Structure 1
Amino acid sequence: MLRALELARRGPAHGPNPRVGCVLLDADGAVLAEGWHAGAGSPHAEAAAVADARARGVAVQHATAVVTLEPCAHTGRTGPCSELLAEAGVRRVVHAVADPNPVAGGGADALRSRGVDVVGGVRAPEGEELLRIWLTSVRRGRPWVTVKTAQSLDGRVAAADGSSRWITSEQARLHAHRLRGEVDAVVVGTGTVLADDPALTARTPEGTPAAHQPLRVVVGERDVPQGARMRGPGGELLHLRTRDLDGALRSLAAREVRHVLVDGGPTLVTALLRAGLVDEVHTYVAPVLLGASGRAALGDLDVPTMADARRLVPHEVHRLGPDLLLVSVPVPPEEGP
């Protein structure tokens, strides 16, 4: 299963489908073939593993399939993997995580009905961690929301005159562009569009456009200027003329958007935090001081006392040139100290 998880990570982080890996074993536990899902429209991991076995001239009758996610029972861009494995002669399937998708789930029962032995929950914590973004999106009916802020040491995102280029270093900005290349959509409010005119593209360290360009989403009722940079080359532009943030996220989920990066500004980020719609916070902190006249990274979170403070759990800390990146996860109110 650890090898299957390793294979799954070869698939793209973005896209509507989960990252899945599959290892086929013979009766003695020796590896017959391997496969992983390379993205929407390509063979699923199970089909890729069976194809790998056939290319090697290896029979998979009576084999065991070790898969990171329960094989699907749905015909979409490809056929159901549960049926493929049963027809190939696989006699045992071991998976880490059950598929919560109401459309594609049910593969374990379909396999059992064909006489295949199915074991679930093997290395489930590792599987859940690998698939946390996709699983959260499917279970909640909205994308995983990552909020990104780039701020000074004293919590400011712009100087008194509104200028913000550049608070953080080139190394931090390159890291942020790599993150853009791993998400399905980048979201900003109309205030950020009018104040900063961002392009919202993903670029490589060489400054060229990345292979994957995220959907560019603007939330708010004001118009996006015709000459805005985000109307230029890059991902598709989607303007959601609403202040209903939960509704906006659910409309993105209907487009199979699984992961969004909220790239500013303070008004939108604050509103999402207040609504409890943030799953992860990426805070880039530069050793720069802008003082009280600078623009604060957040607005009012309705925290009258320390007992009401919004708590987060730090997961990762990275040094990026002179800057630091803190990756943290909000603590749900019922789990707070």
Structure 2
Amino acid sequence: MADQPADVAETEIAAMRRALDLAALGPFSPNPRVGCVLLADDGSVVAEGYHRGAGTPHAEADALDRAGEAARGTTAIVTLEPCNHTGRTAPCAQRLVQAGVRRVVFAQPDPNPVAAGGAETLRAAGIEVVSGVLAEESRTLNRAWSRSVELQRPFVTWKFATTLDGRSAATDGTSRWVSSAAARRDTHLLRAECDTMLVGANTVAVDDPLLTVRDDAGNPLPRQPLRAVMGLRDLPETRRVFNSDAETVVLRTHDPHAALVELWGRERRHVFLEGGPTLAAAFLSAGLVDEIVVYVAPMLLGAGRTAVADLGITTIGAAMRPRVTDITVLEPLPGDGDEEPNVRLTMEMH
């Protein structure tokens, strides 16, 4: 844990941890996950709240509504700087002022220039403000959202599965299953953390994927990411991606920039790129891949389709070199048969 501001009590740090736990209960996108705990002078909890999605009360408003008049004189512990703008709801900074909160302790400054400035509003009203408490933990919770706001486009995670020799399919086109059952379960956990699944039209035509988040029994979960199909090719409505399990949009372009602009306009903040080698090469060449997740199977093919198409790189010195941030061995579970463990590598491009 990084050093915390000197003027923060242990009870406030503990309350911030609780606020982060509350924030994690909320859905991701298009708004950040935010939690709030109101503390009395003796450190006891007066009320708690968290944001439940776009159009619902923000975490501070949720906690203030629950506290009522008891909010006056409290310390508000918030995982993100209180917003300072009117969107679907009123500014949280003003709500805190009106409620008579004495002190505000928040974790991460708001990276959104439209919503930022809440700290100044609070200080101007005479409220004591402390920032930076468990800031890294808060940023980790909202990692993709924070980066997308900074980039002003969706954060892009490219996921693929490969053999030891870098093949995503055999020469006859078969690819089921390069990854293990454990890797596929893990993929669904990662899919659930994004708001958009993106593939190319050719992947839909050839592989006919569902592109849904499913449980271990194969049933779709209640909350589903948007399914986005990118390309100019017309596709039959019988493809599974057009079923009723989730919403699907067709992006009529081959340009990754144009695709992300449209998805940003749809308030999408985290794209999970699962297309084939051509689509992957297009996003990599455009500099639009932020994170790579690759499942490596203990398997050799010697030939077949590669995970990414030609990037125009002709010398080793020009190679793209993502930074490895995590290595996890995915062990098979009972019932997975005699499958060998897969390795998940997580890397960042920037």
Q: Given the two structures, how large is their TM-score scaled by the length of structure 1?
A: 0.91
For residue 297 of structure 2, what is the aligned residue in structure 1? Answer: 286
Equivalent of residue 54 in structure 2, options 40, 43, 47: 40
Amino acid at match of 1:18: P
Asked whether the 8 Å contact 2:327–2:344 carries over to 1, the reply is yes
Matched, 1:27 2:41: yes
For residue 192 of structure 1, what is the aligned residue in structure 2? Answer: 203
CA distance in 2, matches of 1:266, 1:128: 31
For residue 63 of structure 2, what is the aligned residue in structure 1? Answer: 49
Query: Shift of the alpha carbon at 1:103?
Result: 3.0
Query: Shift of the alpha carbon at 1:224?
Result: 2.0
The residue correspondences of 1:186-335 to structure 2 (distance < 5 A) are: 186-292=197-303, 294-320=304-330, 321=332, 322-330=341-349, 332=350
For residue 2 of structure 1, what is the aligned residue in structure 2? Answer: 17
SS at match of 2:78: strand
Asked whether the 8 Å contact 1:137–1:253 carries over to 2, the reply is no
Query: Shift of the alpha carbon at 1:307?
Result: 1.9
Amino acid at match of 1:41: G
RMSD: 1.8
Identity fraction in percent? 54
SS at match of 1:300: coil
Matched, 1:156 2:167: yes
Query: Shift of the alpha carbon at 1:144?
Result: 0.8
Matched, 1:16 2:30: yes
Query: Shift of the alpha carbon at 1:122?
Result: 2.8
CA deviation vs aligned residue, 1:272-322 (integer Å, no higher than 9, x gap):
112111111110111122112x11111222332222221122222222222
Which segments of 5 or more consecutive residues in structure 2 lack a partner in the other structure? 1-15, 333-340
CA distance in 2, matches of 1:251, 1:229: 23
For residue 182 of structure 1, what is the aligned residue in structure 2? Answer: 193
Residues 124 and 178 of structure 1, relative CA distance in 2, 3 Å threshold:
closer
Query: Shift of the alpha carbon at 1:109?
Result: 2.4
CA distance in 1, matches of 2:143, 2:187: 20
CA deviation vs aligned residue, 1:230-256 (integer Å, no higher than 9, x gap):
111222211111122112112211111
Asked whether the 8 Å contact 2:102–2:128 carries over to 1, the reply is yes
For residue 335 of structure 1, what is the aligned residue in structure 2? Answer: none
**Greater CA deviation, 212-221 or 111-120?**
111-120
CA distance in 2, matches of 1:281, 1:83: 40
Query: Shift of the alpha carbon at 1:179?
Result: 1.9
Query: Shift of the alpha carbon at 1:67?
Result: 0.9
Q: Given the two structures, how large is their TM-score scaled by the length of structure 2?
A: 0.88
Query: Shift of the alpha carbon at 1:216?
Result: 0.9
| Aligned length, in residue pairs | 326
Asked whether the 8 Å contact 2:293–2:346 carries over to 1, the reply is yes
CA distance in 1, matches of 2:144, 2:243: 29
Asked whether the 8 Å contact 1:178–1:204 carries over to 2, the reply is no
CA deviation vs aligned residue, 1:80-99 (integer Å, no higher than 9, x gap):
21121111110211212222
Asked whether the 8 Å contact 1:33–1:52 carries over to 2, the reply is yes
Which segments of 5 or more consecutive residues in structure 1 lack a partner in the other structure? 333-337
Equivalent of residue 74 in structure 2, options 63, 66, 74: 63
CA distance in 2, matches of 1:126, 1:303: 37
CA distance in 2, matches of 1:230, 1:308: 37
Query: Shift of the alpha carbon at 1:36?
Result: 1.7
Asked whether the 8 Å contact 2:83–2:117 carries over to 1, the reply is yes
CA distance in 1, matches of 2:212, 2:195: 12
SS at match of 2:47: strand
Asked whether the 8 Å contact 1:26–1:64 carries over to 2, the reply is yes
For residue 125 of structure 1, what is the aligned residue in structure 2? Answer: 136
- Runs of 4 or more, structure 1, over 4 Å off, are none
Amino acid at match of 2:17: L
CA distance in 2, matches of 1:103, 1:265: 36
CA deviation vs aligned residue, 1:128-160 (integer Å, no higher than 9, x gap):
222221111112111110111011121111111
Amino acid at match of 2:170: A
Query: Shift of the alpha carbon at 1:38?
Result: 2.2
Amino acid at match of 1:3: R
Asked whether the 8 Å contact 2:29–2:145 carries over to 1, the reply is no
CA distance in 2, matches of 1:120, 1:88: 20
